[in-house]
A = this chain, B = another copy of it.
Amino acid sequence: MTPDRYHHGDLPNALRHAAAEVIAEDGLGRFSLREVARRAGVSHTAPAHHFGDVRGLLTSLAVEGFDHLYEATSTAVADESDPAERLAAMGEAYVAIATDHPAHCQVMFRIDVVDPDDPTLLEAGMRAHAVLRDTIRDLVEAEGLHVDIDVAAELCWAAMQGLVVLAPKLALVDAAHGVEPPSMRVRVRRLTRLMLDGVRHADGQT
């Protein structure tokens, strides 16, 4: 980017960008701090001055991921007025994030590779989660449902997260059953519809 000045100018961002690139291309397994530094055009110890260690860099990437998620889901929600449609749009946004920012998503929930107690990470996560929770609260209030909001949110979140993680396996299972694997968008909508049925007919017992 900026030519070879001694002081890079915005190394933290450059490093995050390079890290995401490496992870997206070669996977988290082959991720290496040195390779990231190489791509950013700095020495292999430069990252330490900004992120401490490799964990710090990946944690920072996770924060960025949650920020992306927050923005994507909140604009998706803003574009819809019907609460149920909002939920579906959120689901789509969730898996869209997973395909648009695969590196971030591989990191966000990996407590073995990230510092789960990092306060900025916690805050970013909570902010993203609040969008889902608010959407469900609106749905419950608009339709007068009898379901615990947190439990419903838990189901939606878990299902979407599971979908992202299991995507390759699901395609394999479909193929084995002789079914053409559907797009992620279709999967999301099918699951959302089913969950909506569940949420709408719940009797409110915890």
User: Which residues on A are within 8 Å of B, measured CB to CB?
Assistant: 27-29, 106, 109, 111-113, 116, 122, 125-126, 129, 147-148, 150-152, 154-155, 157-163, 165-166, 168-170, 172-174, 176-177, 179, 187, 190-191, 193-203, 205-206
Contact = CB atoms under 8 A, between A and B. Distances in A.
Contact of A151 (B109, B177, B191): B191
Contacts of A205: 193
Nearest to A173: B129
Given A113-B29, A126-B176, A155 B202 contact: no
Given A129-B173, A155-B194, A190-B206, 11 more contacts: A29-B113, A126-B176, A151-B191, A154-B191, A158-B162, A161-B165, A162-B162, A162-B163, A165-B165, A193-B202, A196-B198
Contacts of A28: 112-113
A176 B160 CA distance: 22
Contacts of A168: 111, 116
B194 A202 contact: yes
Contacts of A177: 150
A154 B190 contact: yes
B165 A109 contact: yes
* Chain A at the B interface: SS class: helix
Contacts of A206: 190
Contacts of A161: 158, 161-162, 165-166
A22 to B, nearest CB: 12
B194 A198 contact: yes
A50 B5 CA distance: 50
Contacts of A158: 158-163, 166, 191
Max chain B Cβ within 10 angstroms of own Cβ: one of A28, A126, A158, A191: A158
A152 B194 contact: yes
Contacts of A197: 197-199, 201-203
7 contacts: A106-B112, A111-B168, A126-B173, A155-B191, A161-B165, A194-B198, A194-B199
